[in-house]
Chain A
Amino acid sequence: MIKEQLAGKRIAITGSTGFLGTALVELLLRKIPDVELVLLVRSSRRTAAQRVKRDIVNNDVFKTLKEELGKEEFDRIIQNQITAIPADISLDHLGLDSDGLEILKSCEIVIHSAASVSFDEPLDRAVEVNLMGPVRLVNAFKDLNVTPHLVMVSTCYVAGNRKGDAPEQLLTESPFYVPLDWNDETNAARRTRLYVEDASRRPPNLESFRDSARSELGAAGTPALARKTEQLRQRWVKDQMVEAGRNRAKSLGFPDVYAFTKAMSEQAVEEVRGNTPLTLVRPSIIESSLRAPVSGWIRGFRMAEPIILNYGKGTLKEFPGIPEGIVDIIPVDLVASAIIAAAAQEPKSETTIYQVASGSCNPIRTSTVTDYVHSFFGENPIYDDKNQPIAPAKWKFPGRGRVAAQLNRSQRILGHAEQTLNKLPIRGKPAMFVADIQDRKDEIDKAIEYVTLYGKYVECEASYSVENLLALWDSLSADDQESFPFDPRIIDWFEYIYTIHLPTVVTKGRVKTSPTKSSGKSRSARIRNQVLDPQRQLAVFDLENTLIASNVVASWSYLATKRLPRAERIKLVTKTLAQVPSMLALDRKDRTDFLRSFYRRYTDAPVSQIDDDAYEMFSELILAKSFPAGLRRVREHKALGHRTVLITGALDFVVKPLKPLFDDIISATLSHDGNSYTGQMQQVPPIGETRAAVLRRFADENDYDLAETIAYADSTSDLPMLEAVGFPVAVNPEPKLASLANRRGWLIENFQPVAGSPSKLLPLGSRTSR
């Protein structure tokens, strides 16, 4: 009897915050009287105890138990029967302190379900967690001089990509076994990391990271570029390590690095376990619960869910796989029951293996699953943004190569489109199109990922035998069978997929399942409300293309031509226009350099005349090209009691007439000798990273909280400022900023000049006859 066998026992569990682990904890508490659970939990920002409460006890899987027991009794059981100890299986002795070790020592059963289940972990990370984790666990037992019953959760896929039977036996006993030394594999993985880290720091690589950073951010200033470059380097290292893991697994016939490291770990534990009795439980693909405690419970998004959702959304029009192939899925409650039943068995000296899989005893074919999914989304379609139902495609199984090629082709086309659009001088609404392309690209990226990663599982034609499992099932009393059902033959596939799993996926996926407009306000309206909240303190604005559609070149040209005779005006403007390409190039590279060189043109300009003309320019150029909605926004902030600040690289005399709009203006200034300007700037102009620094200092000196600050800007060169504040707003963003803002959930505003604005072909000052 399982209950009697385990009652009052102390059981340690690793990986209890995971999908399977949480189900295990729930089932044990619900069914085994007085069981004592020691949960080894990695502490992060939260302590182990906090994580247990937040990630396990508060999960909705406990709802049934809570209702059965009442809140008080439930809290009492949690309090008395669960002990959380901080542990980290990537450290020796699991990082346990002496108290922790003592508690571990007192456990009679240890269920090891901690693993990095991601199919594309970096090689070394997968090795440290999946392979070395259990080895460290066993070593700890040895050091503590104990031999608890170790129940280790593995996976059916340790058998590798193969066709035909895969029995419940040790891998070394398999005729297909490829002799490998797990120590060598571990060392090799660690060396690979060192090698890749070195390679990432080689000059050509660093240069290419910096180039990519610049092309992504534009002239965002040195610190922002540096941060981005380092991010790109780290991402590159990770990608290399993922690739290394994928390749190593592939070379050995495993579908991915997870199966590979799990296989290695079975071998390693078998080798080092000594007298510790070992039971291996190998589930296939674990999905939402069949019955207990409720049907359709799932935690996180697993393997099949994103595929199903993308199919429902129409992103994935085809999928690899063989229609007559078998999809080996097993509901999580069956796996948890099997583990507990296995743990309750009298340990033997030789390793016992149970495979928890459906493929051999209650198979379901890929084509049947896809039929269910197709008809499910036919009846319950997902709706797109325009409230149109999305018709599900019929999968034709063209083979993985064709599917991948098709996806890659779309990806390439979108990539070209994006590159081209990024180079165009567009902003605002058209630039948002680029952000949309980015979204589409991300979706296809994911689809490609699913196809490459999960495709192998759908194509796997191995049949995992479950003789041991069924023997165990038959040995159970009727009562145990009732409490711990794990016989895969009980699954009614139509009921499970159509009425339990798919509705769960749709609910969890938070997709639109009805054509009604989403209740409440749109996302931008919500963020706008936050931005226009009296609680905010400071609203900072960029000028050019944020509030007006003009720039330093136009204002200079206006002032320079205002008092010139006609012929000379034309000559000067033509000359300036000819220089535009080189100015643009310099501007793109470094805006400060550009301004510095451009402002030289003011050398010897008479101060008083410029001051006079600046007011006329305010009407003729600045206001004429202003965005009324932008100016209105400044005033709204002011009315809300926010301090409004203009930070601009434009010159002080140009922006002086805007003074009543803002509480403060921080601008570039030219030095002068009283009569005329020297053409040299008095300080570094407040743009790029300097703008962020100026803002920080301003906030500091005036006691404002940057987290309560709103910043409006239009270009990636303003990223340092936008990133420094709590409420960044991208105004008429250029394509790069548009996609960035879109991804980060920033408010995007499109302020436009009002229709009817006087249009001047050239920014010439109107003649005065004085």
Chain B
Amino acid sequence: MADERRRNPRPGLVLEVDRSTPPALFHYGEGFRLEKLPAGRSRILYPPEPLPGLNNPDQHIRDALENPLGDSPPLSALLTSGMKLTIAFDDISLPLPPMRSPDIRQRVIEAVLDLAAQHGVDDVHLIAALALHRRMTESELRHAVGDRVYDAFAPSGNLYNHDAEDPEGMTVIGITPHGEEVQINRRAAESDLIVYVNINLVAMDGGWKSTATGLSGYTALRHHHNPQTMVQSRSFMDQENSELHKSNWRQGKVLKESGIQIFQIETTVNNNTFGHDGPLAMLQKREWEWTLRDRATFIGYQTGLRRMNPSTKRKIFSSWYSPYELTSIQAGEVEAVHKQTTEHVYKQQLVNVEGQTDILTMGIPYICPYNVNSVMNPILVACLGLGYFFNMYRGKPLVRKGGVVIMTHPTPWEFHPVHHPSYIDFFERVLSQTKNPTEISQRFEKAFAEDEWYRHLYRTSYAYHGVHPFYMWYWCAHALDHLGRVIIVGGNPDAVRRLGFRPATTLHDAFEIATDVVGSQPTITHYHSPPILMADVQ
């Protein structure tokens, strides 16, 4: 029965809440809440169940490399002895949570390296394409590429983190007709072939965003990582309607026309975030299907978590590795590859939804792309809710113009001093003065982006780039522009107010607070994620 279900997963679901509906699960940082939603005017969006993974992924990988899409020759035809090869791969921000070993990047890279070795290619560099993210630590790199690859390339200095602030290491390729500079890693640009190894977790990832953004730096990124672009990307998860992607695609065109050869390998994984069974399995089940054992386990967690201090909870949660399975791999020419990849992503994540809602509720989990092995600071809470979750739509936003978003997250006034130094200053010095993304970008961005100290920390320590907190705030720009109010339930009131949001103690209080924006009988939609779901709003 269970196997049967796994082979034929159910699609996503929009559940109309009635009086018999059990309380819904809300993620709440390193914890959970069960919340009863008002009957008759609430609905809950459930993601589709995990698609079955591909059997024998290594074979699929080899097949993809030899059967490329678009006008690309097979990889083996592109590899020649004496050539310069650069393999770039997605960084720690993907997938979320990190996947169990072996990571899909390791499998793909090993396959590519095997082919390269067969063809006598020995000038190979492996670059973590982290753009302005923090450098990956040794153990993180080992997890992504595997010990074998790491030990073969890292000691000789041929496996390393991309450094967008290395004046020698970056090169400007050209300018788009829109005046956008295209800048990428010099080693990659000067290689005979770039093989990009991607994990396409959400619809925003991949395509030209891989090379044009991942191997890029502030010079190029500022042209699309800005409030104006973000407000006009509706949403940035929907390539067809995303200014962000149009800009990236323009930059990609410049790359292509400059003669840089790119062999794009994109992978998709299923939705199996918490496992079909195992300790967290109930988190991806629908509440009314929880078994007695699920309930008991959940109560046990709640009791245990209440007694733990934040850093212990953080340690426990960050030790979770998801049993993702590969659902597709395609290789070859960037745009052709990405078209198919996106279809696979949609197939796993898309849920049809009828019409918008007055209030959108969302439980904010413990992890987002920028706090792996780190602290989810208030800016990241805002970004995950208003940047990522809010934008998980195609068509129209889930919530109507002028509506309300209610998130649940403890939102502690906490930061990781090594990973997020510029976030601390952004929170203390910038958000204390204004929350307006455009004003923020005009008044403060340049100073942070060009700050010597942040640059030093980005390059030599493990810090996100000085400008990164600005991007997180710009990510929220569309939502901030669209919404009438944002409320965080159970958050640190000072931190919540600093974000410009309203704190509420309970979800009920939050509904009360929302009434003067959306009236007394608003419609409510709960975005039940993770696992990831994307709404196709008609």
Contact = CB atoms under 8 A, between A and B. Distances in A.
B462 interface: yes
B415 A754 contact: yes
A758 interface: yes
Nearest to B456: A660
A323 B415 CA distance: 64
Given A631-B453, A660-B453, A661-B453, A757 B417 contact: yes
A623 B461 contact: yes
A233 to B, nearest CB: 47
Given A618-B460, A619-B462, A635-B453, A754 B414 contact: yes
Given A618-B460, A661-B453, A756 B416 contact: yes
Given A632-B425, A755-B415, A615 B460 contact: yes
Nearest to B425: A632
A618 to B, nearest CB: 6
Contacts, number: 65
Nearest to A639: B447
Interface in A316-338: none
A660 B451 CA distance: 10
A657 B418 CA distance: 13
Interface in B421-460: 421, 424-425, 428-429, 451-453, 455-457, 460
Contact of A756 (B414, B421, B456): B414
B385 interface: no
Nearest to B139: A766
A657 B460 contact: yes
Contacts of A757: 416-417
Nearest to A759: B311
A18 interface: no
A758 B417 CA distance: 8
Given A628-B425, A768-B138, A755 B413 contact: yes
Contacts of A635: 451, 453
B383 interface: no
Nearest to B429: A632
A759 B314 CA distance: 12
A46 interface: no
Contacts of A20: none
A618 B461 CA distance: 7
Contacts of B425: 628, 632
A373 B429 CA distance: 50
B484 to A, nearest CB: 31
A618 B463 CA distance: 12
B177 interface: no
Interface in B329-385: 375, 377
B412 interface: yes
Contact of B457 (A623, A759, A769): A623
A623 B421 contact: yes
B421 A628 contact: yes
B155 interface: yes
Interface in B370-422: 375, 377, 412-418, 421
Interface in B74-96: none
Question: Which of B377, B416, B417 counts the most A-chain CB atoms under 10 A from its CB?
Answer: B417
A641 to B, nearest CB: 15
A623 B415 contact: no
A623 B413 CA distance: 18
B461 A619 contact: yes
Contacts of B414: 754-756
A624 B428 CA distance: 18
Contacts of B417: 623-626, 628, 753-754, 756-757
A151 to B, nearest CB: 68
Given A628-B425, A632-B425, A660 B415 contact: no
A758 B416 contact: yes
A660 B453 CA distance: 6
Interface residues of A, number: 26
Interface string B450-483: 0111011100111000000000000000000000
A755 B452 contact: no
A628 B311 contact: no
A202 interface: no
Interface in A610-637: 615, 618-620, 623-626, 628-629, 631-632, 635
Contacts of B457: 623
A629 B155 CA distance: 37
A754 B311 CA distance: 13
Interface string A746-770: 0000000111111100000000111
A625 B416 CA distance: 10
Contacts of B461: 618-619, 623, 657
Contacts of B375: 756
Given A632-B425, A657-B460, A758 B377 contact: no
A615 B461 CA distance: 8
A624 B421 CA distance: 10
Question: Which of B377, B412, B425, B461 counts the most A-chain CB atoms under 10 A from its CB?
Answer: B461
B456 A624 contact: no
Contacts of A632: 424-425, 428-429
B308 to A, nearest CB: 14
Interface in A652-711: 657, 660-661
A628 B417 CA distance: 7
Contact of A754 (B424, B451, B462): B424
Interface string A181-212: 00000000000000000000000000000000
Question: Which of A618, A626, A660, A769 counts the most B-chain CB atoms under 10 A from its CB?
Answer: A660
Contacts of B452: 660
Nearest to B424: A628
B412 A755 contact: yes
Contacts of A619: 418, 461-462
A628 B425 CA distance: 8
A625 B138 CA distance: 21
Nearest to B462: A619
A615 B421 CA distance: 17
Given A618-B460, A619-B462, A756-B377, A631 B418 contact: no
Contacts of A768: 138
B370 to A, nearest CB: 14
A222 to B, nearest CB: 37
A657 B459 CA distance: 11
A770 B155 contact: yes
Contacts of B418: 619-620, 623-624, 758
Contacts of A624: 417-418
B469 to A, nearest CB: 13
B148 to A, nearest CB: 13
A642 to B, nearest CB: 15
Contacts of B424: 628, 632, 754
A63 B161 CA distance: 77
Interface string B307-341: 00011000000000000000000000000000000
A657 B461 CA distance: 9
Contacts of B429: 632
Contacts of A626: 417
Contacts of A615: 460
Nearest to B373: A758
Nearest to A620: B418
Given A628-B424, A757-B416, A768-B138, 16 more contacts: A620-B418, A623-B457, A624-B417, A628-B415, A628-B417, A628-B425, A632-B424, A632-B425, A661-B453, A754-B424, A755-B412, A755-B413, A756-B310, A756-B375, A756-B415, A770-B155
17 contacts: A623-B421, A623-B457, A624-B417, A624-B418, A628-B415, A628-B417, A628-B421, A632-B424, A632-B429, A635-B451, A661-B453, A754-B415, A755-B414, A756-B375, A756-B415, A758-B311, A759-B311
Interface of A: 615, 618-620, 623-626, 628-629, 631-632, 635, 657, 660-661, 753-759, 768-770
Interface of B: 138, 155, 310-311, 375, 377, 412-418, 421, 424-425, 428-429, 451-453, 455-457, 460-462
Please name the 6 residue pairs, one residue from A and one from B, whose CB atoms are nearest each other, closest first.
Answer: A756-B414, A756-B375, A660-B456, A619-B461, A755-B414, A628-B424
